[in-house]
Structure 1
Amino acid sequence: MSTAATHADELSAETVARFLQDHPAFLQEHAEVFATLEVPHPHQSRAISLGERQILTLRERQRELEWRLNELVHNASTNEGIGAQVQQWCERLLAEQHAERLPALVTLGLAEVFDLKDVGLRLWAPLAIEGGTAGEPVSDTLRAYADALKAPYCGPAVPAQAGKEPATPGEAEACAEAAAWLATPPGSMALVPLRPTPDSPAFGLLVLGSPDAERFAAGMGTSFLARIGRLGSAALARLTPQA
C-alpha cells in the first residue's frame, strides 16, 4: 500500500472537519471541489450536491423560524385577549360601590377570564359579604400555608402527584382543603394568596381549578397569576379589618 493511501486511511472525519475550520479559504481556492462534492439527501436515498444540501438546510431553518414566529403571534394574540378581559374585570371591581358584592365579582370574573367552571375564594375575617362561601372558616394550617406562599402554587390537588416533596410545611393538607372549595375535584389548580402588600400576611386565598391536569401544571410561570392576586387583593382589602 502506498504512503498516500496510508495517510488517507488515517484521516478521520474530525481531522477533515478541523482542517476545513482552520482553513476557511480552502473551498474558495478550490471551488471545483465544492461544486463536485456530493452528500446524502437528508430525506431520500440519493446523493445531492453540497450546495443543494445547504439550500435544504436553509429551507428547514426557515420553516422552523416561521413556525416559531406563528407560535409567538398566537401567544401574543391570546395574551392580548386575556389582558383585555382582565382590564374589564378590574373596571367592574373599581365601579362596584357595594364592597360586600366584590367576592362574587372576583370569582365570576376570573372564571370568565380563564374560562373556568369553578373559582374558590376565602377571606379570613371579612367585615361583610353578600351571600356565597367566601366568609366560611378555614384551618390554621391553610392560613399558615397562604402566609408562606411567596408565589402562586400550581399543580395537582395532591402535591405528591407532581413527583415532588411538599415545598412548604402543611402544603398537602392546605391543597386538599382548598381543592374542596371547588364543586368538582380539579385535575390541576392554582392557589393565589391575597395580601395587601408583598410582605404582609395573607388575608385570603383564591383557588382556580381545572379538570385539565396540564392547565395549571407544576413548574409553569406564575407572573400573570401573581398579578391577578395583587389586583384581587387591592379590591378585596376593602372587606378586611386592615382596610
Structure 2
Amino acid sequence: MTQEAPSAQDIAAYLSQNPRFFEDHADIFATLSVPHPHQARAISLGERQILTLRTRVKEYEQRLMQLLQNAGGNERINQSLMQWCARMLAEPDALRIPAHIIRSLGDQFDLDAVALRVWDLPPLEDSEFAQDVTSDIRREAAEMSQPYCGPVKGQAAADWLANNPESLAILPLHALNGAQPIGLLVLGSADPQRFTADMGTAFLTVIASLAGAALGRLVTPAPEAA
C-alpha cells in the first residue's frame, strides 16, 4: 500500500512542533533554497529572511512617517485653535463675537465658507445671525449629539453659506452648561474630502465648545430668586 506524501500543512506543523530540526540538520538549512519574491531565481532561506525583515522595516518606516505627518498636522490645528481662542478672549465687545467667529475661523482653518446662526440670544435677535432659523432646524440641532460631517445634500443649514460647498460640517453650539443648543456653526469646503462621514470630530467638537462658550456671554442671565 502506497503511503501518502505529507501535505504542506503537515510539514509546517512538524517544523513548528520541532524547532530544533534545523539545528539538528544544519546541512539542510544551509543548502535549502526558496523562490525570490521579486525575481525568477532561487535564494537561500537566510537571504529570504533578510528580505522579509527589510520589507517589514520599510513598512514600519512608512507607518512612522505617517504618524509624524499626522502629529504635525494635529500640532498645526492645535496652534490654530489656540490663536482663535485667544482672539475671542481678547474681544471686549461681546456683540462682535459672532462676526469674529466667522472671520477668524475662515482665516485660521482655510475654509471656503462659514455661516453662523443663533437663537435665544436677545442682543442678536434682530441681527443677520438670527435670520432664516426655522423650527425644523432648531429641532434638528437639539437632536444632534455630535457635529455632522459629509455631503451637502439634504442639509438645510447649507443654504446659509455664501457659496455652494462640496462638503460641510455642522456644529451644534451650546452655552457653557447649557442643555439646549443656542445656534449652529456651518463650515463649508470646495473639497469633497474635507468633511467626510467617517472623519474624526474631536477638533470640531472643541471648536463648537469654544464658540458656544464665547456666545454664552450674550445669554441673558436668569433672574435671581427673591
Same fold at TM > 0.5:
yes
Alignment of 1:11-50 (within 5 A): 11-50=6-45
Identity percentage over the alignment?
A: 48
Q: Distance in 2 between matches of 1:202 and 1:28?
A: 71
Per-residue deviation at 1:197? 4.9
Q: Alignment partner of 2:129: what SS?
A: coil
Q: Alignment partner of 2:160: what SS?
A: coil
User: Residue 40 of structure 1 aligns to which amino acid in structure 2?
Assistant: P
Q: Distance in 1 between matches of 2:110 and 2:100?
A: 15
Residue in structure 1 matched with residue 75 of structure 2 by the alignment: 80
Q: Distance in 1 between matches of 2:32 and 2:109?
A: 56
Q: Distance in 2 between matches of 1:91 and 1:240?
A: 21
Q: Distance in 1 between matches of 2:44 and 2:190?
A: 53
Residue in structure 2 matched with residue 183 of structure 1 by the alignment: 162
- Provide TM-score, normalisation by structure 1: 0.85
- Provide TM-score, normalisation by structure 2: 0.91
Compared with structure 1, are the counterparts of its residues 55 and 199 closer, same or farther at alpha carbon in structure 2 (3 Å cutoff)?
farther
User: Residue 175 of structure 2 aligns to which amino acid in structure 1?
Assistant: P
Runs of 5+ unmatched residues, structure 2: none
Q: Deviations over 1:83-114 (max 9, x none)?
A: 11110110110010101110111112221232
Aligned-pair Cα RMSD in Å: 2.0
Q: Deviations over 1:39-87 (max 9, x none)?
A: 1111111111111111111111111111111111111111111111110
Aligned residue pairs total 222
Kept after mapping to 2: 8 A contact 1:193/1:229? yes
Runs of 5+ unmatched residues, structure 1: 159-171
Kept after mapping to 1: 8 A contact 2:35/2:43? yes
Q: Distance in 2 between matches of 1:54 and 1:81?
A: 41
Per-residue deviation at 1:192? 0.6
Q: Distance in 1 between matches of 2:26 and 2:127?
A: 80
Q: Would you say 1:221 and 2:216 are equivalent positions? A: no
Q: Distance in 2 between matches of 1:27 and 1:20?
A: 9
User: Residue 43 of structure 1 aligns to which amino acid in structure 2?
Assistant: H
Residue in structure 1 matched with residue 96 of structure 2 by the alignment: 101
